Amino acid sequence: MFLKHFVSEESGHLVNISSGVGSRARPTVYAATQCAIEMLSDALAAEVDSTGVHVSCIQPGLVKTGLHSRWEIAPGGSTGVAEPLEPEDFARMVLFILEHPGAALEPSASDSKAE
Q: Which residues are catalytic?
A: 30
DSSP 8-state code for residue 113:
P
Nearest in space to 13 (alpha carbons), one of 90, 92, 95, 88: 95
Nearest in space to 69 (alpha carbons), one of 88, 84, 91, 89: 84
CA atoms of 107 and 104, how far apart (whole Å)? 9
No. of H helices and E strands in the chain? Answer: 3, 2
